[in-house]
Amino acid sequence: MSEPVVLGIESSCDETGVALVRGTTLLGDCLASSVDEHVRFGGVVPEVASRAHLEAIIPTIERACDDAGLTLADVDAVAVTAGPGLAGALMVGVSAAKAVAWALDKPLYGVNHLCAHVCADVLDHGPLPEPTMALLVSGGHTDLLIVRDIASDVTALGRTIDDAAGEAYDKVARVLGVPYPGGPHLDRLAQQGDPTAIRFPRGLTSARDMEKHRFDFSFSGLKTAVVRWVQERERDGLDVPLADVAASFSAAVADVLTRKAIDACEHHGIKDLQIGGGVTANTQLRTMAEERCAAAGISLRVPRIRLCTDNGAMVAALGAQVVARGLAPSSLDLGTDSSLPVSTVSV
């Protein structure tokens, strides 16, 4: 008998994502984003996001099924992001998933959004080696994780002590007058700049910091350094070389992320590094990770860019892993948890 078809639903932030996965094969997916509605506010407005999910959820489910050439009758299990994320936004996806599971009389699996980011790559490169070191870099999180089993055993090794990497991108972009979301815009700008033009600080890399925070991150000092540098130029009546600032800022982020991730692999004797989350789309991070992993003899896995930012495919992929391990489904009483810890893979 072939592996079950899992329908995955993602609605934790501003993307309504739905996909169908069988094993590690993506059968079809569809994404509706409310990002354009948030641009004028410079960040995601939770109520606007929830309303947009409500409007998008049913058409997105229909389109994902069409894309797969299947109907809901072909679905064997339903997976949904139960947290972390915006409470109202999560509720829309969870309610829809419950309705579909109940109507089809199929099992429901509430899964962790962050573990889903890490799992996305199974759709591109097959099952994760075990153990794998995972670097999760997204809008709200920057974590180093030891993944012994993506469906049941994920341990946090380190995390940001202040801003997430994506958050730093979005905040720096705002200061530079670059539209929200800052990451992709700064990435494009950085391609025309010199990453060595300005030496911005590398958070938590001094010998003293490394004693206590070897595998933790900090991007708040970097963000402040960029803001100060720009303000001083403006005060002195000088032009702000946007491309050089973007490239030098991105270089500082990518340098710390890759340095600490490789150090974590070496310290724990782990030969495989998986990078996931929205910031993984970043050009400098991808290039630096490739070069440094190759030099350190670490095998690197990075998914295609579409699978880095929020999407339904990663949720369906994680659901398929949970189903494959025979883990218990969630109850139809499943709630949402805005701050679900990364170690809780499914609920």
Ligand X SMILES: Nc1ncnc2c1ncn2[C@@H]1O[C@H](COP(=O)(O)OP(=O)(O)OP(=O)(O)O)[C@@H](O)[C@H]1O
Q: Which positions lie near ligand X, rule CB under 6 A?
A: 12-13, 85, 113, 117, 138-141, 166, 169-170, 181-184, 187, 277-279, 281-282, 309-310
> What does 17 bind: Mg ion, ligand X, none (CB cut-off 5 to 8 Å by kind)?
none
Is residue 167 part of the contact set for Mg ion (CB under 5 A)?
Answer: no
Per DSSP, what are the bridge partners of residue 313? none
* Cβ partners under 8 Å of residue 69, min gap 6: 27, 28
Closer residue to ligand X (CB): 13 or 313: 13
For ligand X, give the closer residue by CB, 29 or 170. Answer: 170
Taking the complex as a whole, how short is the minimal distance between the CB of residue 204 and ligand X, in angstroms?
19
Three-state secondary-structure class, residue 55: helix
Residues that contact Mg ion, how many (by CB under 5 A): 2
Helices 220-235 and 165-175, packing angle to 10 deg: 10
DSSP count for the chain of H helices, then E strands: 12, 10
- Piece in contact with Mg ion (CB under 5 A), picked from 65-73, 119-127, 291-299, 302-310: 302-310
CA pair distance 204, 245, nearest whole angstrom: 21
Rule CB under 5 A: say whether 14 interacts with Mg ion: no
Smallest distance from the beta carbon of 56 to ligand X, in angstroms? 16
User: Closest separation between CB of residue 12 and ligand X, Å?
Assistant: 6
Give me 155's structure tokens. Answer: 């341990």
| Nearest CB to ligand X, comparing residues 75 and 256 | 256
Query: Which of 107, 25, 11, 18 shows the shortest CA–CA distance to 338?
Result: 11
- Shortest distance, CB of residue 168 to ligand X, whole angstroms? 8
Rounded to the nearest whole angstrom, what is the least distance from the CB of residue 201 to ligand X in the complex?
18
Nearer to Mg ion, 138 or 250 (CB): 138
**Partner from ligand X, Mg ion, none contacting 85, C-beta within 5 to 8 A by type:** ligand X
| Least Å from the CB of residue 138 to Mg ion | 4
Minimum gap (Å) between residue 155 Cβ and Mg ion: 20
Take residue 120 and report the two structure tokens written for it.
């996305």
Nearer to ligand X, 65 or 92 (CB): 92
What CA–CA distances, in Å, run from 239 to 183, 195, 208, 235?
22, 18, 36, 10
Nearer to ligand X, 132 or 138 (CB): 138
Cα(15)–Cα(10) distance, integer angstroms: 7
Instruction: Using the structure block, give the residue that is written with the tokens 């934790």.
Output: 12
Query: Cα–Cα distances in Å, from 209 out to 10, 137, 217, 257, 291?
Result: 37, 21, 10, 15, 26
Q: How many residues does the chain have?
A: 347
Chain residues in the site for Mg ion (CB under 5 A): 138, 310
